[in-house]
Amino acid sequence: MPLVHPRTVILLQPRPGGPDASALEPIAPDPTPLVASRQWVYDLRYDKGDVYLVGVHASDLPAPRATPRVMGRFAFELYTGPVLTERVRFDFPGLGAYEEPVPDGGRRPLHGATVSWNSKLTTHVGVMLPAVDRGTKLVLWDRATNRRWPLPWPAVEMTTEPPIADATSGAEGAVVTR
């Protein structure tokens, strides 16, 4: 199991060098949903365009549950080697349509004219992922921008405090400890 300090905030940042090579490949279909009564809940925060891993904790449901299949801008993808084992899609509450940057520094809506407060929005979501023994790598994928961030897997219980403004980033994201 990876060692994570119990008071750690992780600012998720994409790997340098642009989109992953997988961006050019077709998107794999969702695998058969995993079923488990024990779930990991990943608490995530969207803060003015940045995504933070706020905490991870276990939850025991009264009965086994299959991962629901829904649409969403974001997705957790659990891999066993190169094989996609599970995909959990979700959205952050209040997050509007993605706006792509334009060369003059402004922003243009992706799908027609919209009003967006994404650059000022702070919101939070808890995403459930089956606690299974499978999997070697967990990735958070922003499907609108094709950015991907590695997440701790196998999951480990952790709680965090609000982010520190002077976080520095590395290839795998910034880790700030209090």
Architecture in CATH for domain 8-14+37-177: Sandwich (2.60)
**In this model, does residue 38 exceed pLDDT 80?**
yes
> Do residues 11 and 176 touch, judged by C-beta distance below 8 A?
yes
Q: What is the residue extent of each domain of the chain?
A: 8-14+37-177
Q: pLDDT band at 177, cuts 50/70/90?
A: very low
Q: pLDDT band at 120, cuts 50/70/90?
A: confident
**In this model, does residue 67 exceed pLDDT 70?**
yes
Distance in angstroms (rounded) separating the CA atoms of residues 87 and 76: 6
pTM (2 decimals)? 0.67
**Model pLDDT, residue 163:** 45
Estimate to the nearest angstrom the gap between the alpha carbon of 90 and the chain centroid.
Answer: 9
Query: pLDDT (tens digit, 9 = 90+) per residue, 15-29?
Result: 555 555 445 567 888
**Model pLDDT, residue 178:** 32
Q: Is 98 exposed, middle or buried (0-12, 13-18, 19+ CB in 10 A)?
A: middle
Distance in angstroms (rounded) separating the CA atoms of residues 64 and 37: 4
Tokens standing for 177? 């400890």
Q: Give the sign of the dihedral formed by CA 147, CA 150, CA 151, CA 154.
A: positive
**Model pLDDT, residue 170:** 38
**In this model, does residue 174 exceed pLDDT 50?**
no
Query: pLDDT (tens digit, 9 = 90+) per residue, 27-36?
Result: 888 999 999 9
CB atoms within 10 A of CB 120: 9
